[in-house]
Structure 1
């Protein structure tokens, strides 16, 4: 393991000591953390998976090695410890190792947070990570795990403030310092401070031009302000930089495609879907890649583009996740695919599974939300698919200000705002048709000059004149 990664002494010098005598294990921990923060598997290191195997060999009893490896698998949301015995066993092993060793209070808290997250208790896990950051503001793993978990809860203000609180403690010479810019910028834009978010993201890119998360923040700002031309130019000019971050490349291509959909350039959007988004999601199996593919097809279909065969292909990727129910956000995206592919059995199974879990959610934050949010949203999508537009509006409209709780970004959740508009426009209820026009006026007020909004306004007028 190269000299650029931190050994036992280096971690001690940064007041973040790791309980292991293996320098190799410490360096591998740093290597995994670095790849996680950069959204990039470094092939020269064997990628994150290669480093996870190597860290086990270097010190099989290294608690923080287990914390980062198991934690990353959990935070990826690609499998549920409720169903996956191996993953549940990994959590159990981490907890047992921690209780049998004399580790630091910080490391004990890390173990506790991972265990809470594995039970679906995202809010409590975040409280524990924040507890760590209070005493150890430069603990990047605690910061990143909290950041991702806030994102899954749609906790926009905590996501922003979590980074703001630690920023003064970081100094430019510290490893991974520049990547805080992208993280902070993302929190700023999700709380609608677009100008400040853009400034901070560009500072990040000045320090590290290939920081894909800062690129991603800039893409969001242009998306939320409907500055299509700026967005297209920016993504194209930086493609060589952000494309290298394999864990985020597909998502950045998704952002690029959103500009094309906004501008009614459907063929260009489909080209990105076929050559990048679907291809990558099939190869990686990563959840972010999968939900992007789902969302893209759903948006194109709402715009009247025929994507029938693509739904069937994508179903092969989403179907194995039908019973996962790790997050409501993921469930809603899987449902888009089974509905789009007219796979009634898969749709029913997903909905019934979610309803069952909602009855006795325990500490699982997502299952607690299922009854009042997840299930009615699933039902609304099903009604829309069946042509029961007024019923879809009746289900979705009362939830519009609570939908943030399903997690994801404003840009990702905008799909559900669009769905409500389409349902209201197509409804034969005159009140709903009026509502559609009101929603579009409101949309235009916060996102002026949006070609998509203008298109929908013209459509609404044509339908109901």
Structure 2
């Protein structure tokens, strides 16, 4: 008797228990809800020849930056699927293998081809989407639009109330500027499956983009207590709450949220989020003119020292540069910039020159050479999207440019940038800054 996944795609397993646990495990994985690992491990235990269960477990290991375990699991999946997998399953495992083994460009192409043939294979479709998906980290400047195009191309294959598709379709539209549609889709996704961290995160983002900080704070405060601290996005969603407090000028509240939820060693999230959240939050505190409490920069840098040692992951490179600049580790920052320049020279950094430029700008800002920071950032500001992540995460670069303009006496340029930002989204902080430069 055949077994099927949630979308009635056949599964090569002889065990009803394995199939049931796989279906549940994939839903937990795609909602980033605690219990994912245990459920997929149970699926493997129920059928040790179930290739897709190993592949899903490998994917979750990769999300957790457990690379050795991820590669071990995907290798096992490749061996098994070659013996008894369907064409879809062989393609599924092959695409995941490319992604897990660092062949992201090939994985992107493979995932697109796979999605065209099997659009309901959402574990593969999910690789392309989100702030940390293959499109976001492709180095392309149009990755926001590319995600929207992908979702719209496949929308006909999904039911109106498919919680997973609503989550990512809404996220994609919100990041691409269609905030009304993005909000309605992500809020509906969260209504349909409340235990869905990706939907809660997406709602928080779209509320940020419309300038609805109070609403975003209410969503976070009402939802986050239901999400165990071990959840992949727990610390990161708390980081959003800290940014909201910081934007309204409540630095004490922002620091309290940071210390209780985000800072190492409290943080239990994945390294890319911990490194980016800690560095960008502390950078904002400092850039906004507030003192960073003693020890916080050092704690963040100590945590980060175990990760992203090699240059070439632009989103991480920039945040590692913030840490190095703030802690005066100019040697490490210089080595990273040199390595990035070399990668550009040999054609191995798709995101291009914007990456070493924003790293150099971080050092200029930390040196209080605001004119130099402005000189570096202005020509590349429109290319920052290439480093990936979300708009809210990349916003720290534009804010660094803005503060540099204000501090280097370039009031007219600062006013123009603030006017553009305020047209995009209301912000009490930007409104306050506009008042300052208006008098300059």
SS at match of 1:320: coil
Shift of 1:311: 0.7
Higher mean C-alpha displacement, 89-98 vs 111-120: 89-98
Shift of 1:52: 5.2
Q: Which of 206, 223, 229 is equivalent to 1:238?
A: 223
Q: 1:119 to 1:375 in 2, by over 3 A?
A: farther
Alpha-carbon displacement from aligned partner over 1:378-430 (angstroms, at most 9, x marks no partner): 111112112222222222111111111111111111111101111222226xx
Shift of 1:312: 0.3
Q: Pairwise CA RMSD of aligned residues?
A: 2.9
Q: What's the counterpart of residue 351 of structure 1? A: 337
Higher mean C-alpha displacement, 102-111 vs 266-275: 102-111
Shift of 1:167: 3.4
1:212/1:245 contact within 8 Å kept: no
Q: 1:289 to 1:262 in 2, by over 3 A?
A: same
Q: Which of 61, 66, 79 is equivalent to 1:73?
A: 61
Cα distance in 1 between the residues matched to 2:430 and 2:185: 29
SS at match of 2:146: helix
Cα distance in 1 between the residues matched to 2:305 and 2:80: 35
Q: Which of 213, 223, 243 is equivalent to 1:228?
A: 213
2:204/2:240 contact within 8 Å kept: yes
Q: What's the counterpart of residue 335 of structure 1? A: 321
Alignment of 1:55-454 (within 5 A): 55=43, 57-76=45-64, 78=65, 94-95=77-78, 97-98=80-81, 100-118=82-100, 120-147=102-129, 148-153=133-138, 155-171=143-159, 177-242=162-227, 246-278=231-263, 282-307=267-292, 308-325=294-311, 327-362=313-348, 367-369=349-351, 371-427=352-408, 432-448=410-426, 450-454=427-431
Q: What's the counterpart of residue 9 of structure 2? A: 16
Q: 1:252 to 1:461 in 2, by over 3 A?
A: same
Count of residue pairs brought into register by the alignment: 433
Cα distance in 1 between the residues matched to 2:254 and 2:104: 34
Shift of 1:179: 2.8
Bigger helix share: 1
Q: Give the unaligned 5+ runs of structure 1.
A: 1-7
2:341/2:353 contact within 8 Å kept: no
Q: 1:442 to 1:170 in 2, by over 3 A?
A: closer
Q: TM-score, normalised by structure 2?
A: 0.87
Q: 1:215 to 1:89 in 2, by over 3 A?
A: closer
Shift of 1:112: 3.0
Q: What's the counterpart of residue 4 of structure 1? A: none
Cα distance in 2 between the residues matched to 1:140 and 1:281: 32
Alpha-carbon displacement from aligned partner over 1:239-283 (angstroms, at most 9, x marks no partner): 434567822222221111121111011110001000011257643
Cα distance in 1 between the residues matched to 2:6 and 2:353: 49
Q: TM-score, normalised by structure 1?
A: 0.83
Q: 1:119 to 1:407 in 2, by over 3 A?
A: same
